[in-house]
Structure 1
Amino acid sequence: MNSNPDTDDPLVQHVSRPQPMQNFAIALLHGCSQIFLQRSALVGVATLMGVLSGSVPMFLGGLIGLVTGTLIATVLRYNRADIDEGLYGYNPMLVGTALFCFFDTSPLLVGITVVAAGASTWLLHALLNRHVPALTLPFVTVTLFAIELINALGLADPNPQPLVGAGELNPHSSFFLSFGQVMFQDNMLAGVIFFAALLAHKPVAALFAAVGMFCSVVITMLVGISDTQVNTGLFGFSAILCCLAFAERSWYAAISAVIAATLATLFTVMAHSAGVVVLTLPFIVSTWFVMSVGKRWGQ
């Protein structure tokens, strides 16, 4: 994502003169990794593996979105550096993964995903031109609109989402499922893969993400959310993303991360109580708020 991406990628350093297809492949992997606010082929591969381990349809949907967004940005000659960073890949990939999560796979859904991925790419481009930290706003905006449109017109059959949490609070389950839920995965293996990749690529990012997950558990327990619901990881993924947005070696970054994670968890709890699907909107709002306050404080 374009808020604070990590730019140390050994793969790029070892490819001195990449060919066009190599450039495109690297941009795709960076697009995957930007979901976790990293620029890393390793994290990108792990993201694909994690999704594939949990759901083949969601893997295909995410891949359709990823390729569509990156290809559109390339054809329209958007900023080359932004494409290489993967900034035009992560929102479309999230769009595709989400649509194939909430709806049954069909040829029509594939077409809808391509259109929605293109729309999120255009929206991101517009936000980048206005120097707005887009984060996952294009994904949230386009996906929520697409869900409402599909439901209203009956364009695809819904795919009911099961409750996956255990009866009593399970630290391992809640920890790794929170990481898995970043990509709509309700299995622990995906969460293990995501966390391991972060730990291998940038330990401080993995540490911050773990702190975010811990904050979400504490807040949800304090406000009376049941153990079963906490175990699903649905209250932790936005907090994890908030902490990844501030993952730097400083006390200021750590305090900002904790505040953002706390706010994101509270917003998620309120949305859950209201029965509203908000996806990563709590992450966006909380991160924007903390960034804005920090900027004003610095001034």
Structure 2
Amino acid sequence: MHAAATHARSAALRTLLRSLGQIVLQPNAFTGACLLGAWLLDDPRLACAALMGAVAANISAILAGYREDDTRAGLHGFNGALAGLAAFNFIADNATAAAVAILAATATAWLLEPCSRMLRAGGLGFLSSPCLIVTWLWLPLVAANAQPAGVASTHALGATQWSRGLLAGFAQTGFASDALSGVLLLIGIAAASRRHALWALIGAGFASAAHLLLGATASSFDTGLLGFNGALTALALADCGVVAILGGVALSVVLQAVAACFGWPAMTAPFVVATWSVQWLERRPAHCTSSAEPAPCTDTVRAATAQVPARRTS
């Protein structure tokens, strides 16, 4: 009995950590532990938010009767973790943020099955769409606290600042915001896949450079706000080929820049739309050996992920 209870607790812990790892597309408990360490290093409030959301979403998925294998892989918990992070990012009061986090995480779990079923018909992964939908529903209530990064001219960056900004952009894939957290995330992703870690860095660097050329502020670069959508897109499309990866990252840059110009709280919508676009192109008959056969990158994107902007600085 004692051994069975120990095994059950260990399995539950691994499921929770995999839910966190899925935020950066890695169904890996060690990656999740690295994310947890990055949040604790950056702001323990973020760690509490992610754990709270992941637990609420996983419990809701179990009550809804979702596939146990998918729950164990972390696919039912990561949107809840991101919903919790969004709540604590945009709501200053801890009690209110906690209440919104639990409700939003539960809602993402209940939305997951209909969203997944509808998107699966088109050969698309659900990615962070449940988190985005739920967050956009309550975000107008605190819209004054959810302003996107501004656009302005920027000065030349030194090598040190560039390195720190690149790592910060990489860290933002896990909702952290500094270079040391980025190193932890890099280690976590590399432990699961060194190739994915490399592409995430390339995606963050490509997106950051493109945004700076478009006139984004150096302060936005320093906090990683310019690179995280590119990093996530590169992670999601890492098995689709170089052209697809770079094209997806470029599209995410354009979408994020347009959203910033109009003041829209895009969050990870640029990553989601860019990834969906490449998925759709990969599944067209001209790109597939058989119309019934999934595209080479479809299974990779199934381990969907998300992220929201940098946490409040006030």
CA distance in 2, matches of 1:160, 1:209: 26
Partner of 2:312: none
AA of the residue aligned to 2:78: Y
Task: State yes or no: 1:146 paired with 2:135.
Answer: no
Of 71, 74, 98, the residue aligned with 1:110 is 98
- Supply the distance in 2 between the matched residues of 1:68 and 1:24 (Cα, whole angstroms): 13
Deviations 1:188-228 (CA, angstroms, capped at 9, x unpaired): 22111101211232100011111111211231233232333
| Candidates 281, 287, 293, aligned match of 1:298 | 287
CA distance in 2 between partners of 1:265 and 1:225 (Å): 11
1:283 aligns with 2:275: no
**Contact 2:229–2:270 (CA under 8 A) maintained in structure 1:** yes
| Correspondence for 1:54 among 23, 38, 42 | 42
Unpaired runs of 5+ residues, structure 1, are 1-16, 153-157
Q: In structure 2, do the counterparts of structure 1 residues 118 and 284 end up closer, same or farther at CA, with 3 Å as the change threshold?
A: same
Distance 2:148 2:209 in 1: 25
Residue 97 of structure 2 is aligned to residue 88 of structure 1: no
Q: What TM-score comes out, normalization by structure 1 length?
A: 0.84
**Which residue number corresponds to residue 232 of structure 1?**
223
In structure 2, what residue type is equivalent to 1:229?
Answer: S
Q: Does 1:43 align with 2:34?
A: no
Distance in 2 of aligned mates of 1:162 and 1:273: 9
Identify if the C-alpha distance between structure 1 residues 211 and 162 changes in structure 2 by more than 3 Å, giving closer, same or farther: closer
The 1:57/1:159 distance shift into structure 2, 3 A limit, reads farther
Relative to structure 2, which stretch is displaced further, 170-179 or 216-225?
216-225
Unaligned runs of 5+ in 2: 289-314
Counterpart mapping for 1:126-205 below 5 A: 126-130=114-118, 131=120, 132-150=124-142, 158=145, 168-169=156-157, 170-205=161-196
**Is the partner of 2:48 in helix, strand or coil?**
helix
1:214-269 Cα deviation digits (max 9, x unpaired): 21123123323233333332121011011111223xxx522211111111011111
**1:5 maps to what in 2?**
none
CA distance in 1, matches of 2:114, 2:146: 32
Correspondence for 2:199: 208
Q: Which secondary structure does the structure 2 equivalent of 1:180 belong to?
A: helix
Matches within 5 A, 1:63-102: 63-102=51-90
Percent of residue pairs identical: 26
Within the alignment, does 1:30 sit opposite 2:18 as a pair?
A: yes
Structure 1 residue 97 displacement after superposition: 0.9
Residue 283 of structure 1: SS of its match in structure 2? helix
Q: Is the 8 A contact 1:98 1:184 kept in 2?
A: no
Q: Deviations over 1:60-97 (max 9, x none)?
A: 11111011011111233210111011001111101111
Which AA in structure 1 matches 2:189?
L
Offset at residue 133 of structure 1 (A): 1.0
Larger mean Cα displacement after TM superposition, 267-276 or 216-225? 216-225
Render the CA deviation track for 1:113-162: whole Å, top value 9, x for unaligned. 1111010111112223342510011111111212223559xxxxx59999
* In 2: Cα distance, 1:286 partner to 1:74 partner: 31
Instruction: Determine if contact 2:170/2:224 at 8 Å carries over to the other structure.
Output: yes
Do 1:219 and 1:266's aligned partners in 2 also have CA atoms closer than 8 Å? no
Q: What TM-score results when the alignment is normalised by the length of structure 2?
A: 0.80
Partners of 1:20 and 1:246 lie apart in 2 by: 34
Alignment correspondent of 1:3: none
Label 1:161 to 1:272 Cα distance change in 2 as closer, same or farther (>3 A). closer
Task: Give the structure 1 partner of residue 236 of structure 2.
Answer: 245
Query: Tell me, what secondary structure is at the counterpart of 2:109?
Result: helix
Mapping 1:6-25, distance limit 5 Å: 19-25=7-13
The letter for the 1-side match of 2:280 is: S
Q: What residue number does 2:310 align with?
A: none
Are the equivalent residues in 1 in contact too, given 2:170–2:201 (CA < 8 A)? Answer: no
Deviations 1:42-75 (A, max 9, x none): 1010011111111122211111101101111123
1:298 counterpart letter in structure 2 = H
The alignment covers a number of residue pairs equal to 274
Report which structure shows greater RCO (CA 8 Å, sep ≥6): 2
Match of 2:260 among 268, 272, 280: 272
Tell me how far apart the structure 2 counterparts of residues 161 and 242 of structure 1 sit (CA, whole Å).
19
What secondary structure does 2:212 align onto?
Answer: helix
RMSD, aligned α-carbons? 2.5
